[in-house]
Amino acid sequence: MNLKKMQIVFGLVLVLSLILSACTPETVTVVEEVEVPVEVEVEVPVEKEVFVEKQTVIYNSMNGDPDPRAADEEIVKRFMEANPDTEVIHSIVAHEDFKTAIRAYLTASTPPDVLTWFAGNRARFFIDNDQIMDISDVWESEGWNESYPKGFQAMSTVDGAQYFLPTSWYWWAVYYRVSVFEELGLEVPETWDEFLAVNETLKENGYTPIAIGTKYRWTAAAWFDYLNMRINGPQFHIDLMLGKESYDDPRVAEVFKYWRVLLDNGYFLEDAAAYSWSEALEPFIAGEAAMYLMGDFIRDSLPDEVEADLDFFRFPIIDPSMPIGEDAPTDGYFLSANAANPEAAKAFLAYLGSVEVQTYNAETLGRLPTNSGVDRSLFTESQQKGMELIDGADFVAQFYDRDTTPEMADEGMNAFMAFWDDPDSIETLLADLEAARQEIFLEE
Amino acid sequence: MSRTKRDIIPYLFLVIPVLIYIIWVIAPMFYTFYLSLTNWNGLTTPEFIGFKNYTKLFNDKVFYISLINNLKWLGVFITVPVALGLGLAMMLNTAIPGEKFFKMTFYMPMVLAMVVSGLIWGWMYHPKGGLINTVIVSAGVMAKGPGWLSDRDIVLWSIIIVAIWRQVGYVMVLYLAGLKSINPQLLEAATVDGANRWQVFWGIILPLLTPVTVIVLVISVIDSLRAFDLVSVMTRGGPANASSVLANFMYIESFNNYKMGYGAAIAVILFLISLSFIALYLWRVMQDEMEY
């Protein structure tokens, strides 16, 4: 008797869940089809009544590190002081979490209005999927078409319209401890042979030549980027990133031959996979490791006395006949295509792209501004040197995981780590990567 | 109260919890199954592609690495912590001095959140400054300690040890409760009949503990299949997928690579594996009930 009743209840549950599950996909599409402006019309008047004409802008950023966080909050504060009728609701989410959550933000019924993001392929993906608002009018009214260099304009433009606001960028280079180089009488290496000689001298004298922490893998991707650009040229590199060249090309195998020399000679920090990039700074700060291939944000995490002992040089030239490519990732902002309050959001965006904010960021964080209206004489010596480094490049790439698709980057970086562990397996690894490339880029 | 009324009321009370359960558990389950048949990047409308995700999954090396890692985890988990936990329970069930202190100490790791355990052990495993390698090197065992989390051959075991460390105290508490419910007269009678301590343990205590053992095994199986936190905190599945488990693989595919459909397919497979173990357990429990 009891069993029978249980069966009936279970049967009911099953039937109900089937019905519900059959409904779910449809309800989802219904939600997507609802036009957001309808909701806005309902919401805005209510808020107006409450706040008396106060407009709101929802701003989500990924400036989680201490210094950038403080700067970000300061900028929002200043904007609200200058525009008392606008309220900016600001939330900061850590970098990795932000990357994970952004698709959920954008597809929510009330997405954030202004978001931080990466220029290039990563932004292009959202533009192609109609998630980013056309902000050509802001570019026009703010005069950015004149005040932003051509390269940054091109980066933000798709089919003649602007969608992105690049605000800051930084360069990659080989950072080194000046005192260690001086002690051993080392010169800054310009060619590959000189670079190997520097490594050997450092190693003989008991130093770890190159610090690196590969727990989150992207630090190794920087080595791939540079070796590939130096050996095969930036054009081949970027074509590989876009899926137009294949990973089983002998030119790619060549990259790993060079890489392997560094691994076989033990020039990299031991047990690199156990450290994050900042944990691997420890021996660099202690003066036990001499060099670190890193972006300029390395400064944010160094104590002042180490920063005073820090300099950088261009990744050594391998094939002098190749044009020079550099990694210089650009960060910026975009407006969500479904922003609830486009006018206020555009006003905030205009402020973010202004000379005032970019000057503030350049001064406090040492990032390089994109707006050429910023007074260059304010730059520190290292900023000047970084600008020269990039000015001297024939091609500027973003970074491995920004230039190629997230999926391909994941496969690639895993292969780099497997190669690091077992360099003999490179042939199979590249064959696997090629299979992954064909699948990933065929799908798109 | 009429008969029908008495029959209906319990179900009326059930309506709300059952509805909640359907909306938050059953429906998402079916929705996941539906998603696993689509190609969805989180932005566009899911596109139906049949069983393509599954055929791809069964040709994916990482899937097999993760599956085998899960099975290794499972194999260790249903033996080592169970044996250790039972051993501890047997020892601490007798009145030894400081018995409460030991019980508490062994149970302590369970109180910590998984993420916290992962972080603490991550520091202990630190290749240079970590507790373990410092001890190894200063005791002169090895000139240089192993890379616990960077060596592909040992990374999974390093993580499993943490999981065991956490699980032992839990198993111990379950067995202690089981031991308390054994009638001491049975043990006395056996001793009077001339059974030695081993015979008492194998012939009386262990069989009487069977219901506890079944629960412990089921918990161990479920815990090893849903292993995620420790891996995610300590290695994110690395280096080069060496410590990947299915749950971590699913997370990376869905939220790092934005292949929601593919991630859903992994979830479905993980669900089916769990289901087969749970079905086995339910079937056993039902059989036992039939006997009485």
Closest C-alpha among A88, A149, A376, A420 to residue A275: A420
C-alpha neighbours within 13 Å on the C-beta side of residue A338: 21
- Which residue, among A271, A338, A414, A437, would best test binding to B if mutated, counting the most B CBs under 10 Å from its CB? A271
pLDDT at A44: 42
The answer, yes or no, to whether residue A13 has pLDDT greater than 80, is no
Where along chain A do its domains lie?
A: 38-170+329-373, 172-327+401-443
**Touching check for B8 and chain A: CB below 8 Å?**
no
B-chain residue closest to A283, CA distance: B128
The H-assigned helical ranges of B22-154 are: 27-35, 52-57, 61-77, 80-93, 99-111, 114-124, 131-138
Give just the sign of the alpha carbon dihedral B185, B191, B194, B195: positive
Give just the sign of the alpha carbon dihedral A351, A354, A357, A358: positive
Angle, CA of B153, A433 and B45, to the nearest 5°: 110
Q: How far is CA B101 from CA A365, A440, B181, in A?
A: 52, 57, 22
Closest C-alpha among A352, A356, A396, A391 to residue A374: A356
Min Cα–Cα distance to chain B from A162, Å: 21
The contacts of residue B1 (CB under 8 Å, 6+ apart) are none
Asked if omega into B239 is within 30° of 0 (cis), the reply is yes
**Partner-chain contact B27 A24, CB within 8 Å:** yes
CATH number of the structural domain A172-327+401-443:
3.40.190.10
ipTM: 0.71
The answer, yes or no, to whether residue A360 has pLDDT greater than 50, is yes
Residue A367: alpha-carbon gap to chain centroid: 14
**Partner-chain contact B34 A21, CB within 8 Å:** yes
**Touching check for B206 and chain A: CB below 8 Å?**
no
Nearest beta carbon to residue B257 from set A21, A214, A410: A410
| 3-state SS assignment for residue A297 | helix
Rounded to whole angstroms, the Cα distance separating B69 from B73 reads: 6
**Partner-chain contact A103 B258, CB within 8 Å:** yes
Rounded to whole angstroms, the Cα distance separating B283 from A246 reads: 52
A-chain residue closest to B251, CA distance: A100
The contacts of residue A304 (CB under 8 Å, 6+ apart) are none
Same fold, A38-170+329-373 and A172-327+401-443: yes
**Partner-chain contact B127 A270, CB within 8 Å:** yes
Query: Stretch A13-35: mean pLDDT, rounded?
Result: 41
Min Cα–Cα distance to chain B from A355, Å: 34
The answer, yes or no, to whether residue A10 has pLDDT greater than 60, is no
CATH number of the structural domain B65-259:
1.10.3720.10
Nearest beta carbon to residue B147 from set A107, A274, A443: A274
Do residues A171 and A386 lie in contact, with contact meaning Cβ atoms separated by under 8 Å? yes
**Partner-chain contact A126 B152, CB within 8 Å:** no
What is the token pair recorded at A9? Answer: 């209840």
Give just the sign of the alpha carbon dihedral A136, A142, A146, A152: negative
DSSP assignments along A106-167, one per residue:
HHSSS--SEEEEESTHHHHHHHHTT-B---HHHHHHTTHHHHS-HHHHHHHEETTEE--EEE
pLDDT at A310: 94
pLDDT at A48: 43
pLDDT at A148: 87
Which residues on chain A are in Cβ contact (under 8 Å) with B239? 214, 273, 417-418, 420-421
**Partner-chain contact A417 B23, CB within 8 Å:** no
**Touching check for B134 and chain A: CB below 8 Å?**
no
What angle, rounded to 10 degrees, do the helices at B61-77 and B155-180 form? 30
- Over residues A101-155, the pLDDT tens digits come to 898 898 888 899 999 999 888 888 889 888 999 999 999 999 998 888 887 888 8
Per-residue pLDDT of chain B (292 residues; tens, 9 = 90+): 567 778 888 888 899 999 999 999 999 999 999 999 999 888 888 889 989 999 999 988 899 999 999 999 999 999 999 999 999 999 898 878 888 898 899 999 999 999 999 999 998 998 877 899 889 888 888 888 888 888 888 999 999 999 999 999 999 999 999 998 888 888 889 888 888 888 888 888 999 998 899 889 988 998 899 899 999 999 888 788 889 999 999 998 998 888 899 999 999 999 999 898 888 888 877 777 655 4
The answer, yes or no, to whether residue A21 has pLDDT greater than 50, is no
Residue B154 corresponds to which amino acid?
Answer: I
DSSP state of B183: -
Percent of chain A with pLDDT over 70: 88
A-chain residue closest to B249, CA distance: A410
Where along chain B do its domains lie?
A: 1-34, 65-259
**Partner-chain contact B43 A103, CB within 8 Å:** yes
The answer, yes or no, to whether residue A26 has pLDDT greater than 60, is no
CATH number of the structural domain A38-170+329-373:
3.40.190.10
Which residues on chain A are in Cβ contact (under 8 Å) with B234? none
Task: Let me know how long chain A is.
Answer: 444
pTM of the model: 0.78
Min Cα–Cα distance to chain A from B25, Å: 9
Which contacts (CB < 8 Å, 24+ apart) does range B67-71 have? B67/B246, B69/B156, B69/B243, B69/B244, B69/B245, B70/B224, B70/B225, B70/B227, B70/B245, B70/B246, B70/B273
| 3-state SS assignment for residue B116 | helix
Which residues on chain A are in Cβ contact (under 8 Å) with B257? 406-407, 410
**A157 beta partners:** A162
The structure tokens 């209510």 sit at A46
The contacts of residue A107 (CB under 8 Å, 6+ apart) are A32, A131, B42, B43
